[in-house]
Amino acid sequence: MRILGIETSCDETAAAIVEEVDDPARPWVIRSSVVSSQVEIHREWGGVVPELASRQHVRDICGVVERAMADASVTPADLGAISVTQGPGLVGSLLVGVSFAKSLAAAWRLPLVPVHHLAGHIESLFLQHGPLPMTAMVLVVSGGHTSLYHVRAPGQYHSIGRTRDDAAGEAYDKVAKLLGLSYPGGPVIDRLAKGGNDRAVEFPAARMTHPDRNEPLQKGQWDFSFSGVKTAVLRHVRGKGEGWQPSDPEVADICASFQRAVVGSLIERTFEAARWFDAKSIGIAGGVSANSRLRQDASARGERAGVPVFLPSLALSTDNAAMIAAAGLRRYRAGMLAGLDLNAEAALQL
Ligand code: KG4
Ligand code: ZN
């Protein structure tokens, strides 16, 4: 069984073919994965411009899907279903993928499988590694979301915490903008931080709780907050006086110090939650999971704690359609299909 996945929730137009094979250790195999990124278009504006994004999706979608089909050497007759990101995301962008997927499903007489974007990020871990030891504590950390899910069984995602304000990736993007660095900020800060001193500036990490497992579970206990650290960077820069231009080493120090605070709080909260829920594995997915320090520190902490940590490859960390195809296969097997009245939902809940 092969499935076509389509993803257009933000500023990447993506299509992929994933095949289900008879291997319990690695049941999903990527046959092709094509991503057309719009970052060059949005960089000029310092962030994603929704109207430009949806127009570019319209231009790119046909070619991207054709390319994914050609790379996998498949024709419509080789496909068993079509999956598409239904939400959350920019509604104009989502509509391009949803309309296109519906048209293909109608023309090729194939079942249509709607997928939640964050379910796609979670399933990127299963796509990459096969079934994770259950239960799993999964952190989804991207430009739009920072959420913790307790995955009690494959396909069963229980939301236990989320950011109360900015997503971690959003904080990276905003801090980069304020330092005069280019969009998207995550990869730039990650690179510059390598040359800086992470103790140069003391930025407050989000408040840490040290929950005692005998205490009752409290609402919001596993939430994150990143607006504080972002504001601290702003204050630090403004505190230097009007027109202050940080030198390259100063920028590197700010990047390293900011990254230490953000990565520290992501890891702390995720490992605490894993301990509380007695999870047998930890997964970290989403665009920010491409961060080199997060990858290193989480893996090292996992070794110390004796909990295996799973990360997607760099290509599967940021937005792609292979993860949407994988999540689509899971839902298809559960019989969760949609009709041709499917609509995009900007604020879809998982
Ligand atoms: O998952 P994704 O591609 O799109 C969303 O669903 O939001 O994530 C994009 C986010 C951006 O905020 C970007 O700055 C961040 O992921 N990002 C990184 C890195 N690479 C991408 N953040 C930190 N370090 C990186 N290496
Ligand atoms: Zn994403």
Please tell me what DSSP assigns to residue 240.
Answer: T
Ligand 1 pocket residue status of 10, Cβ below 6 Å: yes
Residue 220 has what pLDDT? Answer: 74
Asked if residue 120 has its Cβ within 6 Å of ligand 1, the reply is no
Question: If you average pLDDT over every residue of the chain, what do you get?
Answer: 95
pLDDT confidence of residue 205: 75
Q: Are 130 and 25 in contact (CB under 8 A)?
A: yes
Can you state the angle between helices 248-276 and 227-239, rounded to 10 degrees?
A: 160
Q: pLDDT value at position 221?
A: 85
Query: 246-277: per-residue pLDDT in tens?
Result: 999 999 999 999 999 999 999 999 999 999 99
* Residue 22, CA distances (Å) to 83, 133, 149, 257 in order: 21, 19, 28, 47
- pLDDT for the residue 243: 84
**CB distance 287 to ligand 1 below 6 Å:** yes
Q: Which atom of ligand 1 is nearest to the CA of 290?
A: 26
Tell me the backbone φ, ψ of residue 213, rounded to 5 degrees.
-65, -15
Residues whose CB is less than 8 angstroms from the CB of residue 44 and which lie 6 or more positions away in sequence, other chains included: none
Low-confidence ranges of the chain (pLDDT < 50): 208
pTM for this model (two decimals) = 0.95
Is 42:54 a contact under the CB 8 Å cutoff? no
N-terminal to C-terminal alpha carbon distance within the chain? 26
Q: Residues lining ligand 2 (ion), CB within 5 A?
A: 142, 319
**Sequence-distant (≥ 6) Cβ neighbours of residue 326 within 8 angstroms:** 5, 18, 28, 120, 123, 124, 126, 127
Show the tokens assigned to 271: 């490992």
Backbone angles phi, psi at 21, to 5 degrees: -120, 170
Report CA(319)–ligand 2 centroid distance (Å).
5
Backbone angles phi, psi at 19, to 5 degrees: -115, 140
Ligand 2 center–CA 348 separation, angstroms = 14
Nearest CA to ligand 1 atom 1: 287
Whole-number Å distance between alpha carbons of 171 and 177: 10
Burial grade of 220 (CB within 10 A; 0-12, 13-18, 19 or more)? exposed
Residue 318 has a pLDDT of 96
State the pLDDT at residue 207.
60
Q: What's the pLDDT at 215?
A: 72
Atom 23, ligand 1: residue with shortest CA distance: 186
